Amino acid sequence: MPKKSKPKIKFLTTFLIIGFIGFTVCVCWFYWQYKLQQKSQQTFYKAFETSIPNRYKIHGIDVSKHQSYIYWNAVKKMKIDNISVDFVFIKATEGVATTDAMFKKNWEQSEKNNIPHGAYHYFLATKDGKQQAQNFIKNVTLQKGDLPPVIDIEKDFSVNNNILKTRLKDCLNELQQNYGIKPILYTYSDFYSNFLGEDFNSYPLWVAHYTDENEPDINRNWLFWQHSETGRVNGITEKVDFNVFAGDNKLFSNLLIK
């Protein structure tokens, strides 16, 4: 009498079912991990006390008198998982006559510690644009290796939008004529969309937007993204803004004044 084969068939069927279930579980687990990684576009760093976007390699901060005295040697030395302060924007002036109380010290010390730096002017829509540019020019000498000048505009102060744009253009043109390089425009994504728009699309943009993990919510190209205003850095007692640069080292180097 021939041997029965049913037990072998049953065993093979059970083995295949278990194997299929195991394979399916593995595929689902790896897919879940992939989606989780895709969803989490930022990593929280305890040392910096903020989340930092994963896809960018060049990081920086911006400071003013509100950060009080800064120990720039400590800022320079801080490095966590290849993230360090690769550049800094420093407030220089405001309006037609104000100079930031810590600008000179921050400018000198950041340069002494070999941190690429740039200076910014806080723009007041209520004041003449050319006069504001002259305030900046009088206080800021830019040289080889520095970042282009920056105009920081955040409020309209209830000024008519056409007047605001005219004054801002006057300020930007005056700076470009003096320094021989196109200034960078800093603002919030909403402010840009609501008050500036296409009239300023030719200017390099440094945009502030804190609620998107991947990139700022703005419909145009940008160079710098201020993604957090609650960071911490060694050598600075107060909270500080964190930024990323959109390109690689070569693009960053090309941006610097030659």
Active-site residues, by number, are 62, 154
| Under 8 Å between Cβ of 75 and 83 | no
Three-class SS string for 136-166?
Answer: HHHHCCCCCCCCCCEEECCCCCCCCHHHHHH
| Under 8 Å between Cβ of 171 and 141 | no
Q: Both ends of the chain: CA-CA distance in Å? A: 95
Q: Residue 5: which residues within 8 A CB-CB, separation 6 or more?
A: none
How far is the C-alpha of 75 from the C-alpha of 63, rounded, in Å?
Answer: 12
Residue type, 197: G
Q: Which of 211, 205, 210 is nearest to 245 (CA)?
A: 205
For residue 65, give the DSSP letter: G
| Structure-block tokens of residue 250 | 């070569």
Strand partners, 93: 99, 121
| Under 8 Å between Cβ of 99 and 127 | no
